[in-house]
Amino acid sequence: MKWTYPLFVYCVVLLAPAVLLFRRRHQSGSSASWLPPGPPGWPVFGNMFDLGQMPHKTIAGLRSAYGPVVWLRIGSINTMVVQTAEAAAVLFKSHDASFAERKIIEVIGAHGFDRAALSLAPYGPYWRAMKRMMTAEMLGQRRIGETEAIRRRHGGVDRKCS
């Protein structure tokens, strides 16, 4: 078989990304060295198919093999599972700012809805200002008192509680 230039280019285009991806994943001192332990996943799907029909039982079983903190890849989303109260306390006390962000889907971010509500706003100065405004303007005692009649009328609190 005679090597031609287009065949060589085709082979390089196909093999170069695979080699680069393999080298990046297997370098010493890579970013994966500080991740919690977890089962190896499939290349594209991660651990999605390893969880089975009852994922809560499968994840509970992973605790004996990998410890109280397990790292899973569900599709392309990295997921950390914390299975004990002690590990959760350490997580929320020591690393709270690292995990304050939430995954916002592209549609919400593209239309600017991620900044429209306190629940979707990114953590930082904007979120703190929104929280301060929400506490002062909407959850203050004066505002709660002003809306009591409306809440009673629409919620039926009088009939349910008395």
Boundaries of every domain in the chain: 100-162
pTM for the structure as a whole = 0.53
pLDDT digits over 30-70, tens only? 555 688 898 988 888 888 888 889 988 999 999 989 999 99
Task: Give tens-digit pLDDT for 70-90.
Answer: 999 988 888 889 999 999 998
Q: Specify the pLDDT at position 162.
A: 54
Which 3-state string (H, E, C) describes 4-64? CHHHHHHHHHHHHHHHHHHHHHCCCCCHHHHCCCCCCCECCCECHHHCCCCHHHHHHHHHH
Q: How confident is the model at residue 158 (pLDDT cuts 50, 70, 90)?
A: low
